[in-house]
Structure 1
Amino acid sequence: MALWKIDNLGRKPLLIYGVIGITISLIVVGLLFFLQVENTYLLMTFILLFIACFAFSYGPVLWVLMAEIYPLKVRGKALSMATMAIWLGATFIGQMTPWFLENFKAYGTFWFFAICMIPAIYIIIKVLPETKGKTLEEIENYWLSKKK
């Protein structure tokens, strides 16, 4: 869905709404675990909401943005480093989740990941440029103007 609508809606709106949806779903899932709610349909609804929000925002839009926001002279190295950072982060999350579940319980694990989304919301709103309909040169000029 994101790749179908990314040029109509823009990258930032998809990311903003997706990350807010991810954060809300993580908070609610943590709350359901904390309150020991046994309604599996409610729990499944918010887990599916998390998956849906990720699927229309962070998942695909991040890769599109990475290909657009770096200036041409550093694009190859920057994309390599950004891709490595994403995979290192994913590996860290995958490896640490069992430890988090054991030490922070399920609710603490979901709340921890929700808290991790707060910097993402800030960066998307305040730092990241909207690249929809802009040339690579216009995006590069945006970064150069921010540098000054």
Structure 2
Amino acid sequence: MAKKLALDELPKRLIIDGKKTEDVIMVYGFVAEGPEEDNITFYLDTLLKTSVVIKDEDIIHDVNITKTHSAIGGTIIWIKNASSYLQENTQQAQQDAEQFFQGDIYQQYANTAQGNTVTKPQGVQASICGCGNCGN
């Protein structure tokens, strides 16, 4: 007779009433105190430059990484409502990109890439498409 294996915690937490929890993401990082009592700040890199604030209620499961597995430790967490966190990071990245592409240096590059040698007046947005049809 084969020995029965112990059940793991992860399936118990991700499968509710026979259905897997949807919209879940697993991330590795470092847990720090959040800006409010009901959340954490989760750093996604070892230099602590990229972080996301996660609500306690959205954390389905967590596993602490021991020093045996990684010299710097860390935590793996499974987060429900992942799309809201991904969307939040995407919106921030989009805002950062928009700010970057509004600069004078980029506008000069766009003009050169389109073959325009005339410098546009400052504050006027250069067309970056180049097709001549869409007005972009």
- Same-fold call, TM cutoff 0.5: no
Write 1 or 2 for the structure with the bigger share of strand.
2
Give the TM-score, by structure 2 length.
Answer: 0.23
Write 1 or 2 for the structure with the bigger share of helix.
1
**Greater RCO, 1 or 2 (C-alpha within 8 Å, sep 6+):** 1
Give the TM-score, by structure 1 length.
Answer: 0.22
